[in-house]
């Protein structure tokens, strides 16, 4: 009981700290944004480009659904619409709940609706994050060669690169030296979870679909240029596709950090600082654009998530119950 109370306290304390940092970031971003001019900015938006941003933003995640389906193919032939629905519900959860819990929720949901073991679903999501991290680091290297990237962003990229390299190294070792690695974790508790992860990697990894999924991760990142460029054009910024690429990478990098719902605060701060320091946009304009772009990014995902919840016959209050009991299927890894 005491341990449970301690965990609850730590979780609540972390939530308070994260929300405080997000609010502070939002305040810092908007401190001199001249928000009274935001109404005029909205009135002069190019609504054709707004439509492009609103449509292409959520459509990108259909590619992620295709990638996830490919990654899971050796274990379970999950339908494209099952993966798409789970992803949109997960994104909906990320927009209204902290710490990006939607990543876990989508795994629970796909497991509850198919014969896919929950542990395999979570392992596949972990592999997706590693793939994304590798391409993000590669994109950051390209940016360093072309654009004046702020030092703070370079340091963040170095940290991400170290984490991704370590994760890729450990996953590769577990994949290709499975029996040796498994023998290192013979205990109960967390070591049992490591053994399950190793067995799941065995199920997913020895397949050409793993490479296909890795290659599909690059278009998933590059497609995010489209709504970013559309938002530039809608707002009247005469910025290039390279600028859209840079901002998309930076915002994706920021999204990797557990934070407040909808990336509120950090999203605006990264957008403003990037546009101001890398492309010479007036700080107040960059700050107001960050709010508009955040809305263009968030609202479509909320709508898509609500539609997916309705189609799935779920209420948001029921999401925490999805997948609480892991199914035992023939492909469930041994303990």
Confidence of residue 333 (pLDDT cuts 50, 70, 90): very low
Confidence of residue 193 (pLDDT cuts 50, 70, 90): low
The residue with greater pLDDT, 113 or 244, is 244
Q: Does residue 37 lie within any of the structural domains?
A: no
Neighbours of 46 (CB within 10 A): 13
Among 38-47, 233-242, 323-332, the range scoring the smallest mean pLDDT is 323-332
For residue 231, the model assigns a pLDDT of 97
Whole-angstrom distance, CA of residue 268 vs CA of residue 245: 17
pLDDT, tens digit, 9 for 90 and up, residues 91-112: 998 888 877 888 889 998 998 8
Neighbours of 149 (CB within 10 A): 19
Angle, nearest 10°, between helix axes 118-146 and 151-176?
A: 140
pLDDT, tens digit, 9 for 90 and up, residues 4-17: 666 677 777 777 88
**Most distant CA atoms of the chain, gap in Å:** 65
Q: How many domains does the chain have?
A: 1
Residue closest to 128 by CA, chosen among 55, 221, 262 = 221
| 193-199 mean pLDDT | 64
For residue 199, the model assigns a pLDDT of 67
Q: Does residue 188 lie within any of the structural domains?
A: yes
Q: Does residue 173 lie within any of the structural domains?
A: yes
pLDDT, tens digit, 9 for 90 and up, residues 17-75: 888 888 898 999 999 999 999 999 999 999 999 999 999 999 999 999 999 999 998 88
- Which single residue is written with the structure tokens 């341990």? 3
Q: Does residue 333 lie within any of the structural domains?
A: no
φ, ψ of residue 32 in degrees (nearest 5): -135, 40
**Which pTM does this prediction carry?**
0.85
Angstrom CA distances, 98 to 155, 257, 263, 294, 307, stand at 25, 11, 8, 16, 21
pLDDT at 284 exceeding the cut of 60: yes
For residue 299, the model assigns a pLDDT of 94
Q: Does residue 176 lie within any of the structural domains?
A: yes
pLDDT at 279 exceeding the cut of 90: yes
Domain of 224 in residue numbering reads as 7-32+58-321
Q: What is the mean pLDDT of the chain?
A: 83
Neighbours of 97 (CB within 10 A): 17
Residues 217 and 132: beta-carbon distance below 8 Å: yes
pLDDT at 234 exceeding the cut of 90: yes
Total H helices, total E strands in the chain = 14, 0
Q: Does residue 51 lie within any of the structural domains?
A: no
End-to-end Cα, the chain, rounded Å: 27
| 109-116 mean pLDDT | 86
For residue 334, the model assigns a pLDDT of 34
Angstrom CA distances, 62 to 48, 92, 216, stand at 22, 14, 12
| 76-102 mean pLDDT | 89
Q: Does residue 97 lie within any of the structural domains?
A: yes
For residue 31, give the DSSP letter. Answer: T
Length of the chain in terms of residues written: 335
Structure tokens at 309: 């919840």
Whole-angstrom distance, CA of residue 279 vs CA of residue 276: 6
pLDDT at 239 exceeding the cut of 80: yes
Q: Does residue 52 lie within any of the structural domains?
A: no
């Amino acid at each position: 009981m005491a341990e449970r109370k301690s965990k609850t306290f730590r979780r609540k304390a972390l939530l308070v700290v994260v929300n405080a940092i997000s609010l502070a970031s939002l305040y810092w971003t908007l401190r001199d944004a001249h928000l009274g001019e935001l109404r005029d900015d909205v009135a002069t938006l190019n609504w054709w480009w707004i439509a492009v941003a609103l449509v292409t933003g959520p459509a990108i995640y259909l590619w992620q659904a295709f990638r996830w389906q490919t990654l899971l193919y050796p274990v379970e032939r999950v339908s494209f619409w099952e993966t798409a629905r789970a992803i949109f519900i997960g994104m909906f959860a990320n927009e209204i709940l902290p710490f990006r819990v939607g990543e876990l929720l989508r795994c629970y949901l796909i497991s509850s609706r198919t014969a896919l073991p929950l542990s395999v679903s979570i392992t596949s999501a972990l592999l997706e994050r590693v793939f994304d991290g590798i391409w993000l680091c590669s994109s950051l290297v390209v940016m360093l060669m072309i654009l004046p990237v702020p030092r703070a962003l370079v340091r963040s990229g170095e940290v991400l690169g170290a984490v991704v390299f370590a994760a890729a190294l450990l996953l590769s070792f577990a994949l290709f030296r499975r029996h040796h690695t498994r023998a290192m974790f013979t205990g109960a508790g967390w070591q049992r979870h490591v053994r399950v992860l190793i067995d799941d990697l065995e199920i997913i990894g020895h397949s050409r679909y793993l490479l296909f999924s890795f290659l599909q991760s690059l278009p998933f990142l590059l497609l995010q240029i489209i709504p970013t460029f559309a938002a530039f054009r809608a707002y009247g910024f005469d910025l290039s596709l390279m600028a859209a690429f840079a901002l998309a990478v930076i915002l994706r990098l920021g999204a990797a950090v557990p934070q407040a719902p909808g990336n509120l605060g950090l999203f605006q701060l990264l957008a403003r600082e990037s546009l101001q320091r890398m492309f010479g946009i007036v700080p107040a304009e960059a700050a107001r654009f960050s709010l508009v772009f955040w809305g263009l990014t968030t609202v479509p995902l909320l709508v898509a998530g609500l539609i997916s919840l309705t189609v799935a016959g779920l209420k948001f209050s029921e999401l925490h119950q999805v997948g609480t009991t892991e199914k035992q299927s023939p492909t469930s890894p041994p303990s």
